[in-house]
């Protein structure tokens, strides 16, 4: 009898140990820029983390898809978004140092991710107050043309007197490559001994007895499995609403996915070859650009083709449309009107640059439907979730509502998310200001105003 009781006790103890071993410390859901950045920051702290991504290791769709996003630092005094960009640059340097540590020679560099180039901003005279606030006490290097004559002298541009131009010059302002950054983040996560489960779609997320129960379905196998975790970071972009419907249902009302289009244009090869070296350099140095009108036209050089001709990426920040099916939106083709808009605005900018290129010289290469996750204020959330809409849940962090502002500050968002999960403190003024702007107090107020 004693032997039987001993066997039962040992068996129960073994089962208990096995069960505890199966509970993850932190699970991050979403392997795009935000989720990958958070998983890396947790790994950097030496924490155990599992990253779950529904796509393969190489992205084929999503808001983190592509090879270029604008990275810009210029902002008014104590600007949160400038802080996010600069912090992200600093954290990226830490990432590169970590990847190079132990290597016989450096295999990774900041230039793999960032292309430093002047960033051009175009404002209308009606925005003069905003420009004055931007430039007051500005520490970043910039050039400013307040009228047509100054624009011609400083930038060789032809603009109407109703327009102003600012050009920012700063290391790692220009563009960053999300594709390369995600690859390096994943490499670092694995180097730290942590895991990434690809081709796994989360179909259910619930919390039972203080533990998160995550049901995932293999995208290739179709098989289901369950993962248990003490802590969860929800960084699934536009899928956050569906993901959190059981444990944070308010997110579906606070973050709304909208479709945007991105088009890729190439200059006719014969016309491009007719440009002088000076004109080609001028074209290169005039991208990326943000035309801060009502639609916010933006454009950048995505890459160069095999002939060295730049592929121009174009979008409109406020040209947003409703989404019927989130899984299908990524495959939507651009309409004739969207392609026309892209060409017209690009031709207009090239005319402002005084380059001998016209609408007819622009060839449509391809288009892509992107999704912005929008909050009412256009400011993202990096926040603990709330229980009963008022009590902070320290075990769940939500990263979402990026509204097209995520890429340039991705590692900063990840840093704050990791700090929230681990309850790490940073009392610097700008960190606290940024955390407050993105965090739980604002989330609480937004929840209270949902039905008002």
> Are residues 346 and 264 part of one domain?
yes
pLDDT in tens, 317-326: 999 999 999 9
Residues 296, 278 within the same domain: yes
Looking at the structure, do residues 200 and 339 belong to the same domain, yes or no? no
Position 1 scores a pLDDT of 54
Residue ending a domain, choose from 330, 346, 374 = 374
pLDDT (tens digit per residue) in 364-402: 999 999 999 999 999 999 999 998 878 999 999 999 999
Q: Does the residue 77 lie in any domain?
A: no
Domain co-membership, 236 together with 357? no
The answer to whether position 157 is within a domain reads no
pLDDT at 395: 97
75 is a domain residue: no
Residues 261 and 347 reside in one and the same domain: yes
Find all residues with CB under 8 Å of 209, minimum gap 6, and list them: none
Q: Does 77 have pLDDT greater than 70? A: yes
| Residue-wise pLDDT tens digits, 178-234 | 999 999 999 999 999 999 999 999 999 999 999 999 999 998 899 999 999 999 999
Q: How far is CA 356 from CA 268, 275, 301, 307, 407, in A?
A: 12, 8, 18, 20, 33
Q: Are residues 381 and 411 in the same domain?
A: yes
CATH number at residue 42: 3.50.50.60
Rounded alpha-carbon distances, angstroms, from residue 75 to 16, 277, 439: 54, 32, 21
Averaged pLDDT, 6-30: 65
In the prediction, which pLDDT does 13 show? 47
Q: Tell me, yes or no, whether 104 lies in a domain.
A: no
User: 243 with 271, same domain?
Assistant: no
pLDDT tops 80 at residue 352: yes
Q: Is the pLDDT of residue 85 over 90?
A: yes
pLDDT of residue 450: 87
Strands 69-71 and 114-116: unpaired
- pTM for the model stands at 0.93
166: three-class secondary structure by DSSP:
strand
- Assess whether pLDDT exceeds 70 at residue 32: yes
Interhelix angle 178-191/33-44, nearest 10 degrees: 30
| 315 in a structural domain | yes
The count of domains in the chain is 2
**309 and 288 housed in the same domain:** yes
- End of a domain among 337, 355, 374? 374
Residue 76 resides in a domain: no
State which residues form the domain around 340: 256-374
Q: What is the pLDDT of residue 16?
A: 46
- Count of CA atoms in the C-beta half-sphere (13 A) of 198: 9
**pLDDT the model gives residue 272:** 97
For residue 15, what pLDDT is reported?
46
Question: Residue 245's pLDDT is what?
Answer: 95
Structural domain contains residue 271 = yes
- Residue 378 has a pLDDT of 94
Rounded Cα distance, 436 and 212, in Å: 26
Domain termination residue (choose one: 374, 389, 418): 374
Say how far apart CA 80 and CA 152 lie, in whole Å: 32
Residues 220 and 271 in one domain: no
Do 33 and 46 fall into the same domain? Answer: yes
328 shares its domain with 351 = yes
pLDDT of residue 452: 63
pLDDT single digits (tens) 404-451: 888 999 999 999 999 999 999 999 999 999 999 999 999 999 999 887
Mean predicted confidence (pLDDT) in 80-108: 96
pLDDT the model gives residue 392: 95
**Residue range 249-265, pLDDT digits in tens:** 999 999 999 999 999 99
Residue 303 has pLDDT above 70, yes or no: yes
């Amino acid at each position: 009898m004693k032997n039987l009781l001993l066997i039962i006790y040992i068996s129960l103890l073994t089962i208990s140990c096995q069960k505890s071993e199966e509970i993850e410390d932190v699970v991050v859901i979403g392997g795009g820029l935000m989720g990958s950045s958070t998983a890396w920051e947790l790994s950097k702290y030496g924490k155990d983390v599992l990253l779950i991504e529904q796509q393969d290791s190489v992205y084929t769709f999503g808001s983190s898809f592509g090879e270029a996003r604008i990275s810009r630092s210029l902002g008014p005094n104590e600007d949160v978004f400038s802080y996010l960009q600069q912090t992200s640059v600093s954290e990226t340097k830490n990432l590169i140092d970590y990847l190079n540590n132990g290597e016989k020679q450096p295999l990774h560099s900041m230039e793999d991710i960032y292309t430093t180039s002047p960033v051009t901003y175009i404002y209308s005279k009606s925005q003069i107050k905003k420009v004055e606030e931007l430039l007051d006490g500005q520490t970043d290097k910039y050039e400013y043309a307040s009228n047509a004559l100054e624009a011609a002298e400083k930038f060789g541009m032809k603009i109407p007197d109703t327009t102003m131009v600012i050009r920012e010059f700063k290391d790692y302002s220009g563009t960053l490559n999300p594709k390369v950054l995600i690859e390096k983040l994943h490499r670092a996560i694995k180097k730290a001994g942590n895991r990434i489960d690809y081709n796994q779609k989360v179909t259910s997320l619930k919390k039972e007895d203080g533990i998160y129960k995550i049901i995932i379905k293999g995208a290739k196998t179709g098989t289901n499995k369950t993962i248990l975790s003490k802590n969860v970071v929800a960084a699934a972009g536009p899928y956050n609403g569906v993901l959190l419907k059981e444990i944070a249902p308010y997110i579906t009302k606070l973050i709304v996915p909208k479709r945007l289009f991105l088009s890729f244009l190439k200059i006719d090869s014969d016309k491009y070859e007719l440009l002088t070296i000076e004109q080609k350099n001028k074209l290169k140095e005039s991208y990326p650009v943000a035309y801060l009108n009502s639609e916010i036209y933006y454009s950048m050089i995505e890459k160069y083709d095999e002939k060295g001709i730049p592929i121009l990426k174009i979008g409109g920040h406020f040209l947003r449309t409703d989404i019927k099916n989130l899984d299908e939106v990524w495959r939507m083709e651009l309409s004739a009107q969207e392609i026309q808009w892209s060409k017209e605005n690009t031709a207009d900018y090239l005319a402002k640059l005084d380059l001998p290129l016209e609408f007819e010289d622009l060839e449509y290469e391809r288009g892509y439907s992107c999704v912005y996750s929008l909050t009412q204020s256009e400011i993202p959330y990096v926040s603990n979730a709330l229980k009963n809409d008022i009590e902070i849940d320290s075990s769940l962090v939500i990263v979402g509502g990026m509204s097209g502002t995520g890429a340039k500050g991705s590692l900063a968002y990840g840093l704050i998310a990791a700090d929230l999960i681990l309850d790490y403190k940073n009392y610097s003024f700008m960190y606290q200001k940024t955390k407050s702007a993105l965090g739980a107090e604002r989330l609480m107020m937004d929840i209270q105003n949902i039905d008002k």
